[in-house]
Amino acid sequence: MAWWVAFERAFEAALADARDAVVVGISVAGQQHGMVTLDANGAVLRPAKLWNDTESAADAWWLGKQLAAGAAGWAAAVGSVPVAAFTITKLSWLHRTEPDAWSRLAHVLLPHDWLTYQMTGQMVTDRGDASGTGYWSPITEEYRWDLLGIVDRDRDWSQTVPRVAAPTEVVGEWRGIPVACGTGDNMGAALGLGLAAGTAVISIGTSGTAYAVSDTPTADRSGLVAGFADASGRYLPLACTLNATKVTDAVARLLGVDRDEFTALAMAAPSGAGGLTLLPYFDGERTPNLPGASGWMSGLRSDVSREQVARAAVEGVCCSLLDALDAIRAVAPVDRVVLVGGGARSQAYRSVFAALCDLPVGTAEADEAVATGACVQAAAAAHGQSHDEVVRRWALGAVTPVEHPAGTPSADVRAQYAALRGATYSS
């Protein structure tokens, strides 16, 4: 119930800060992929498994072998190759490891679905978040019962998964306020940023993401790009990394400095960190799919400086994010990049990413893009408008350019990083 308590407190705090505001709609944008399991009475069976829980990595590998065409078959079926983040792998894990919970399982929801259920009593989801389960296809806009049958062929899955609502549908009420269907965090951010074709987003948070909107569904058989749907009726190819600011936070802790001091250290070192390279796979990785990976550092010498270590950490994370961006550019046209998330507020991240990227880079002026996107969805549902109409009316999508700094050629830094990645994880 921690999520519900947090929601109620946040809602009351928002009302207190805007005493004259009238709430016309509510929408929940929540972290993708997680698994919330309920019994027949709607009670939670076990703690939710979140997207970054890699315990189901073995199940992802097993599921990938269950279709004759392997990864290509999964990409053709649901636009994505399942990895440990996907809900279907977590269902397989539950079926394999917790038979008692499995026997009592009546409903499976995503995190945002559960909050919508608490408000409305309706078990409903949206196409954006559903596309990250591994069992709903953005290509056909339907559940794939055959894929769920791989996990358990004896279960009536049509009674287990939530209904997929239309993008601007009102699915119920809470305190007399219309409630929209909600969506995943990345889909919410795309709405909040007014994301248009040709722009890719790099979100630098604890983890990292690269995504862009597309008018057609994508299916990357390599598994690097997840072929998601967005919240509006289009598509959102996305590549995700497990490690972003958590890496630089960890290195700052080892150096004994706070974030501002860490930024100063990183900015004081030259581009390329004097040959020091950090592979930032601290807690496993998703792009590439290496759930058991760990971080590596190369190029250490006796005269290494704290500045070099800080710079190498930032460059390592940025190179990892650029790998994800390269995967997006292989399936969708991109002519500029917008940085969002907590890391985008860091001068070190902004400067280093712009230096290493061969496209124009800017930062979004939206402070909380995911929450803004939820507001866009709520307004569209409450007023019967399209998302694009709300985005235009609210003038969303403003970007501040980031100056491209001079220094070591980006190709040299990325080649240095690629060499370490290849030598450490040749797969």
Using N-to-C axis directions, what is the helix angle for 306-329 and 347-356, rounded to 10°?
A: 50
Contacts for 378 with CB less than 8 Å, ≥ 6 apart: 24, 25, 26, 27, 178, 179, 180
Q: Please, are residues 229 and 258 in contact by the beta-carbon 8 Å criterion? A: no
What span, in angstroms and rounded, lies between the C-alpha atoms of 243 and 230?
Answer: 23
Residue position matching structure tokens 């969002």: 340
Task: State how far the alpha carbon of 351 is from the alpha carbons of 279, 281, 357, in Å.
Answer: 19, 22, 10
Q: Cα torsion for 308, 313, 316, 318, to the nearest 10°?
A: -110
Q: Is 156 a catalytic residue?
A: no
Q: In degrees rounded to 5, what are phi and psi of residue 378?
A: -65, -45
The single-letter code of the amino acid at 284 is G
Active-site residue, selected from the candidate residues 129, 185, 230, 323: 185
Per-residue tokens: 384: 């019967």
- C-beta neighbour count of 128 within 10 angstroms: 34
Cβ within 8 Å of residue 91, ≥6 positions away: 35, 108, 148, 151
Beta partners for residue 143, in sequence order: 136
Contacts for 203 with CB less than 8 Å, ≥ 6 apart? 186, 189, 209, 210, 211, 340, 341
CA gap 315, 227 in Å, rounded = 27
Please return the burial class of 324, using the count of CB atoms within 10 Å of its CB with bins 0-12, 13-18 and 19+: buried
User: What DSSP assignment string belongs to 342-395?
Assistant: GGGG-HHHHHHHHHH-SS-EEEES-SSHHHHHHHHHHHHHHHT--HHHHHHHHT
In our burial notation (b when 16+ CB lie closer than 10 A, e otherwise), range 207-235 reads: bbbbbbbbeebbbbeebbbbbbbbbbbbb
**Residues in Cβ contact with 124 at an 8 Å cutoff, skipping those fewer than 6 apart:** 113, 116, 117, 162, 163, 164, 165, 171, 172, 181
Question: What are the residue numbers of the active site?
Answer: 185
